[in-house]
Structure 1
Amino acid sequence: MPYCNYARDRSGDLDSLGYPKPSKTIVSEGLVLVNTFEETFGDIYDSGKGIWSQLTEIGSYSLPRRVVALASFSGERRFFACTGLFIEWNGCTPILTSASLVRDPKDGNKIAEKLKIEVLLPNNKYKEGELQYCNLHYNVALVVVKDFRCLRPVRTHEDWRNPLILEDSNVVAAGRCFKSGRLMATHGRLTAWSGVLDYRDLRYSSCKITKAGIGRPLIDFKGRFVGMNFYDKKIGTPFLFRDCIIRVLAHFKENGTVEVGGGKPIRWPVPIPCWRHPDDELKDSRPPGYGGKSGRFGFTYVDGDRVDNH
C-alpha cells in the first residue's frame, strides 16, 4: 500500500479539524503532526514574489478570482478539505474539485452520507456548497454555491485539443487553504513518470505540493488550464489532463452522478493526519532511489519504481 501506519505513528481521538489530539507521550517523544490540510507550499500570493511575478498578467489576475477552498463536515467534525476551481459549464459556474471531498473512507465505491460542504470564496467569505455531480472512478466532482456566480470562470472547452497547450512543459500548480485562506502556487515541469496510483490516464508533473493542493488547477505560464491535480507525497504530482476532464463533464451532462459500484475500485489514497517522528517522515517522503547516482541518460519512474534510462 502506498500509505500505511508505521510503528512510530500515533493516532487517537480526533479534534474538530479531524486531526488526532496530542498527548503527553507525543510531546515527550518529539513527534510532529503531519499530513494536515493547512501545510502551505510554493509562494504565497500576497508576497507577489516567486512564481507570481513570472505568470502573465492574465494568469496572475485571474487565478485569485477562480481558485477556492472547500471542506466537508460530518456533524461538527471536518471530514476533508481541498482546493477547487470555478469553471464555465452547462450555463452555470460550478466548482471543479476532487471527489475525495465526499468519498466514503470505509468504501471507496460510495459517496459518504450526510456531509455538509462549505466553500471559502475568493472574497474570503464562507458559503454553503452543494454536491451537484460526482464520478468516483475519475475522482472528479462538481460543487455549486447558491446565490453566487463567478465572473471569471475557466472556460474548459477553450482551445479544446489545442496541441500548443503542451508546447512548453513548464506548469504552475495553485492551491488555497480552507482555514487561513492563503492562496499558493508553485511551478514545475511535466514529466514521463508513472507513480503509485493505478489509473493509467494520469499524468505527472514535478510540482511539489501538499494535501491543501488536492483538486487544485494545473495551468501553463499563460494561464491556460492544463488539468486537475491530486496528491502523491513520494513521486511528483499526478494530474488528470483537461481532455479527460471534459469527457467526464460530458458524461455528467448525459448521465448525472456516477458511483463506481461493484468490482475492483481504483485507489485514490490520501495520507491520513498522524503524529510521527520527523526523521521517519523525511525518510518516507523520499522517492525510490533518492540520492542514487544517475546514469548518463538520467532516470524515470515506472509503476512507482525508479528506472535508469540507457
Structure 2
Amino acid sequence: MEQSNSKRKKSTGSWCQYVNTFGEKFDSMHKQNKDLSSDIKISTVKVSKSVVSMASVSADKKFHFFGSGTVIKCDQVNMKYVSTILTSGSMFGDSRNGVEYVEIGRRFDVRAFQYDIHYNIALLKVESIQPLVPAILKGVKVINKAAARGGFLRRHSDTFHLSHGDEVISVGRFFQEPYTVMSAPGTFRNECCDLDCPLMLKTTCNISKCGTGGPLINGDGEVIGINFFLEEYTPFMPINIVLKCIEHFEKHGKFVRPNFGIKGANFSTGTSMQMMEKINRAFPDISTGILVKEVVPLSPAYYAGIRAGDVLLRCGGDIIQSVVEIGEALEIELLKEFKLVEKTVVVEELSPDQFYSWCLPKKRWVMMGDV
C-alpha cells in the first residue's frame, strides 16, 4: 500500500515528500479543505451516506487501487438489497481485475462489476441486509453568466445550470479506518480540459488520488459529476453523460462506444473571441455547441461533410453534449462558414485503437520548504 511518507533533511531546513499517493487525505493536505464553512459541511453531509471507499487488488498483488464511489441505485432482491455503485474505471487497472470490497463504515463484498475503459467509468454491485442510500443525481447544463443573470435559464427538476465561477464540492471517502468522508470546495471553470475525452469539464477543487471516482456535488448535495484526478485541477464527467452510458449498457447488455469521428472542444472555450464576435453578429442566439477541431478521415462525420472549423449545434433536436446511439441516423444542425446547415450522420461503433486514454499522475518525490 502506498503511504504518504516524508523524510526531513535537517541540514537544509527542507524535506522531501511523496505526492500522488493513495495515502494522502485531501481533507487535510490542502489548506482550503481544512476550515470548511457550515454550508460546505451541510452540503457534504447530505451526500455522505451515498459516498463509499473501495479497494481493488489484483490476484498477484502487483496492482492495487484505492478510490471513492457513489451509490446511485438500490433494489430489493430475494430478501436482500442490491446496490449499484458508480466509480472510475481506473479501479481495474490494465489487469482488469475485480474490486475486492466497498466500505461505508462497514465492509461489503463486490458481487459483480462492469467497466468502460473508453469513458473510464465502472458500475459495481454489492449485497446488503439493510438498504444503502442512493444519491440524488442532477444532470448538468453549462450556461454563460449573461444567461444566468438574465433569469431566462433556471434550474429544472432534472437539470442543474452551471456557469463559470459557480461553487461546487468534490467529495470522497478515505479507505482506512475510520473511513472519514472528505470534502474539497472549489469553483467550476468553463475552460478547456487537458484530458483526451472532450466531454470532461474542470473545477478548482483539490483532491488526492483516493478521491478518484467520487462525486462532484452542488450546494444542495446533488451529484452532478464523477471526479478524476490530476495535480493541477480536478476534471469531472457530467452525470448526464454517465447516465447516457449506463442507459446504453442496459439496452445493449454492454458498454457501447459510438464513433462520430470528430475531435472537438466546447464552443465557448475553443473559439477565439474574434471568431465568437463574428458568429454572434450573425447568430446572436448561439452560445453553446462543439467546435470541430479535427475530423477523422473516412469517419461518419467525414462522409457527412463535416470539417474542422464547423460548430455542431444540435443532434436530433438536442444540444450536442452527450453520447449518441450506435447505428442511428442522426440529424445534425451545424454552423458551416457562417451558414446554418443540416446533415445526416450514421453513427458507428468505435474501434479499441480509438479509445480515449486516461493517465493518472504517478507517485513522485518533491522538495518541500519548512512551513
* Larger strand fraction of residues: 2
Match of 1:125 among 95, 106, 115: 106
Secondary structure of the residue aligned to 2:241 is helix
Residue matched to 1:63: 47
Structure 2 match to 1:142:
123
Does the 8 Å contact 1:131/1:144 carry over to 2?
yes
TM-score (norm 2): 0.57
2:180 alignment partner in structure 1: 182
The 1:203/1:21 distance shift into structure 2, 3 A limit, reads closer
- The 1:30/1:206 distance shift into structure 2, 3 A limit, reads closer
What's 1:3 paired with?
none
Q: In the aligned structure 2, how far is the partner of 1:245 from the partner of 1:218?
A: 13
- Structure 1 residues 225 and 115, CA, compared in 2 at 3 Å: closer, same or farther? closer
After TM superposition, list the pairs within 5 Å mapping 1:290-305 onto structure 2.
Answer: none
Q: 2:93 aligns to what? A: 103
Q: 1:167 to 1:269 in 2, by over 3 A?
A: closer
Tell me if the contact between 2:245 and 2:255 (Cα under 8 Å) persists in the aligned partners. no
Separation of aligned partners in 1, 2:355 and 2:91 = 17
Quote the residue 2:309 is aligned against. none
Unaligned runs of 5+ in 1: 1-16, 24-28, 105-111, 281-310
The Cα of 1:120 is off from its aligned counterpart by 1.4
Q: Is 1:41 equivalent to 2:26 in the alignment?
A: yes
- Look up the match of 1:269: 359
Structure 2 contact 167–186 (Cα < 8 Å) conserved: yes
Higher relative contact order, structure no. (Cα contacts within 8 Å, ≥ 6 residues apart): 1
Q: Count residues with an aligned counterpart.
A: 244
Is the counterpart of residue 278 in structure 1 residue 261 in structure 2? no
Maintained 8 Å contact 1:43/1:52:
no
Query: What does residue 88 of structure 1 align with?
Result: 73
Question: Matches of 2:5 and 2:211 in 1, distance apart?
Answer: 24
**Local SS of the residue matching 2:122:** strand
Counterpart in 2 of 1:255? 252
- Tell me by how many angstroms 1:195 deviates: 2.9
Against the structure 1 CA distance between its residues 38 and 147, is the aligned structure 2 distance closer, same or farther, given a 3 Å change threshold?
same
**1:90: Cα distance to partner?**
7.5
Deviations 1:10-44 (A, max 9, x none): xxxxxxx1679999xxxxx9643322112112369
> Paired residue for 1:225?
223
Q: Distance in 2 between matches of 1:141 and 1:221?
A: 25
Q: Note if contact 1:56-1:223 (Cα within 8 Å) is conserved in structure 2.
A: no
Bigger radius of gyration: 2
Partner residue, 1:307: none
Q: Which runs of 5+ in 2 are unaligned?
A: 8-13, 77-81, 140-155, 258-350
Cα deviation, residue 152, structure 1: 2.4
3-state SS of 1:75 partner: coil
Q: Is residue 200 of structure 1 aligned with residue 198 of structure 2?
A: yes
- 1:83–1:214 CA contact under 8 A, matched in 2: yes
1:237 equivalenced with 2:234 (yes/no): yes
What do residues 76-117 of structure 1 show as CA deviations (whole Å, max 9, x unaligned)?
73511110011127875311100110131xxxxxxx254452
> What's 2:286 paired with?
none
The answer as to whether partners of 2:5 and 2:18 remain within 8 angstroms in 1 is no
Q: In 2, distance between residues paired with 1:132 and 1:143?
A: 4
Rounded Cα–Cα distance in structure 1 between residues aligned with 2:366 and 2:40: 38
| Counterpart AA for 2:90 | S
Once the two structures are TM-superposed, the CA of residue 64 in structure 1 deviates from its matched residue by: 2.3
Matches within 5 A, 1:156-171: 156=137, 161-164=158-161, 169-171=166-168
Q: State the Cα RMSD in Å.
A: 3.4
- Give the CA deviation at 1:259: 7.8
For 2:248 and 2:235, locate their aligned partners in 1 and report how far apart those are by CA, in whole Å.
22
Match of 1:249, SS?
helix
